[in-house]
Amino acid sequence: MAENMFLYWGSGSIPCWKPMIVLEEKGFGGYKNKLITFSKKEHKGEDVMKLNPRGQVPTFKDGDIVVNESNAICDYLESTYKDKGTKLIPDDKAKRAKVLQRMHEANSNIQQKLLVDVIYYMWQTKEEDRKEEDVKKKMDALKEELNRWEGYLGETKAFLAGPEFSMADVYFYPYIAFAVRMGLELEKLPNLKAYFDKLSARPSLQATQPPHWKEEEPKNTPLKGVL
């Protein structure tokens, strides 16, 4: 089955990382794939563009079926192969509601407050153009958001939505792993640190860690000293 699957992906891309985790959790680790290089604009190459006219990755094929957008790929894999490997969205209504809630919280709040408001802002705004009050506001909002997730993990004592690994963890973990790479120190968030350490050792996350992370240190760590 995995031999009919093909994924175009980029190293370090959170959208790419999520479906890669799902593929591993579902037992499809032997899928065919191509690592593209963003700096060479390979995501705009003919092989990607004919499947995804937006010229974006991840771009995924399952036989003749093409699915683009990371969340759509995750949803497709779970709903199509729900009986394979790890069940990532529970059948029980209450448990499913919690998983869906945490999934979409991560996809909106963490993405906005961590990536867009802080990391991208610090990368894209020259130091002389940054307003101190704006930076403080963004950092305070990020601290508040991280403390919210610290509280969630204090309630579950395990994974984000309960005692079992779920799609909520697939959506959330890449963001926190990227934050740690960007200098975030978790010592003041013990639940989040224990969660990060536990999931970092999980086979699906070990297998899909961005390869360039193992080869080079980040050149910029805008989250150093945030907490």
* 177-223 residue pLDDT tens: 999 999 999 999 999 999 999 999 999 999 999 999 988 888 788 89
For the chain, the structural domain boundaries read: 2-80, 93-215
Amino acid symbol at 218 = P
**Domain 93-215, second-level architecture:** Up-down Bundle (1.20)
Strands 65-68 and 32-36: unpaired
Please give the pLDDT value at position 141. 95
Is 2-80 a CATH 3.40.50.300 domain? no
Q: What would the pLDDT profile of 113-155 be if each residue is shown by its tens digit?
A: 999 999 999 989 998 999 999 999 999 999 999 999 999 999 9
> Among 42-51, 77-86, 192-201, 209-218, whose mean pLDDT is lowest?
209-218
**pLDDT category of residue 5 using cuts at 50, 70 and 90:** very high
At which residue do the structure tokens 């593209």 appear?
36
Q: Would residue 85 be called left, alpha or beta, if left means φ above 0 and alpha means ψ between -120 and 50 degrees? A: left
Q: How confident is the model at residue 2 (pLDDT cuts 50, 70, 90)?
A: confident
Q: Tens of pLDDT along 7-35? A: 999 999 999 999 999 999 999 999 999 99
How many angstroms separate the CA atoms of 195 and 111, rounded?
A: 19
**Taking residues 53-57, what's their average pLDDT?**
96
- Work out the average pLDDT over 46-71: 97
How far out from the chain centre does Cα 122 lie?
20
Question: Quick one: pLDDT at residue 220?
Answer: 82
- What pLDDT is attached to residue 157? 85
Weakest-pLDDT range from 47-61, 63-77, 113-127, 166-180: 113-127
pLDDT in the model for residue 165? 98
pLDDT at res. 3: 87
